[in-house]
């Protein structure tokens, strides 16, 4: 839990930007990762990415695989 908070809410607090970043809420920046498994059960679950939302755009597993091929 502390590792996840250190990567999300704590930077928003440090920069006094909690009204824009750090949690999921209407009107905030929509950059987040959807996981297949709970990272609180095992931090390695942060690698089981099902989808990503970046600047409000949804990237499913297939689209992410396409983007990886471009690298």
pLDDT tens track for 36-66: 999 999 999 999 999 999 988 999 999 998 9
Report d(CA 69, CA 56) in Å as an integer. Answer: 22
On whether the CB atoms of residues 35 and 50 are closer than 8 A, the answer is: yes
Which ranges in the chain belong to alpha helices (H)? 2-7, 9-14, 61-69
CB 60 within 8 A of CB 51: yes
Write down the pTM of the prediction. Answer: 0.74
Residues 6+ apart with CB under 8 A from 11: 21, 22
pLDDT band with cut points at 50, 70 and 90 for residue 14: very high
């Amino acid at each position: 839990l502390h590792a996840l908070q250190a990567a999300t809410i704590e930077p928003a607090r440090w920069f006094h930007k909690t009204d824009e970043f750090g949690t999921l809420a209407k009107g905030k920046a929509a950059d987040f990762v959807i996981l297949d498994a709970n990272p609180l059960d095992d931090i390695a679950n942060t690698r089981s990415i099902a989808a990503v939302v970046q600047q409000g755009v949804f990237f499913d597993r297939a689209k992410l695989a396409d983007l990886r091929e471009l690298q």
